[in-house]
Chain A
Amino acid sequence: NAGVTQTPKFRVLKTGQSMTLLCAQDMNHEYMYWYRQDPGMGLRLIHYSVGEGTTAKGEVPDGYNVSRLKKQNFLLGLESAAPSQTSVYFCASSYVGTGGGQPQHFGDGTRLSIL
C-alpha cells in the first residue's frame, strides 16, 4: 500500500526553468493538497483540489499552477522558477468527511532548490 507518492524526491533548478512535481495517491481520496514548508514556518497551503477536474488557490499560490485531470494524481507546476521557491513541497490527500477531523495523508516530500 503506497499511500501518497511524490516524484521526484530532490531536484535542483536554475532560475527561470520550469518543472512539474507529481503526486499520486492510491486511497481513492477526493481531496488533495500541495503545501510548502520553509524553515521556521509551518506548512503553507499552495493549491488544493476537492475532486477530479477541480482546483483552487490556497494561501501562497503565486508562481504555481496545478492540475487534477485524474482523481489519483495532483500535479504542481512551476512555470518560471525563482529562488524564493526553494523549499520542501508536500502533497497530501484526505477523505471527504463531516467536519474537519479527517486526517491528511502526506507524501515524503520533494526538496527543491532553485539557483
Chain B
Amino acid sequence: AQTIHQWPVAEIKAVGSPLSLGCTIKGKSSPNLYWYWQATGGTLQQLFYSITVGQVESVVQLNLSASRPKDDQFILSTEKLLLSHSGFYLCAWNQNNQAPLFGEGTRLSVL
C-alpha cells in the first residue's frame, strides 16, 4: 500500500531562520507530487508541483522553494522565514487519473 509521510509534524521557528519540510511517498514509483499551504482557518493554496525527479514547477512562491532530489521525496524550504509563512503545509501525490491524496501535514508557527 502507498503511504505518504510528512516531517516534521510541527515546527516552531523564529523569523529569519531557515526552514526545511519533507515529504516521502512509499510504495509508488514516479508519483506526481504537490505542496499546498493553508493559513490557519483558511483555504488551501497550491505552491509547487513536480512530475519527475529534479523538475519542480512553481504555482505561487510565497518566498519559498521546492526541490525533488529523489523520486519519492519532495522538499519545501526557505532560507529566511517570514511571519506570513505560518500555517499548515500539506504534501499530496497522485498518478494517472487518480485524485490527489494528501499527507497529514506539518504545522508551522513562525514567531
A and B: interacting chains: no
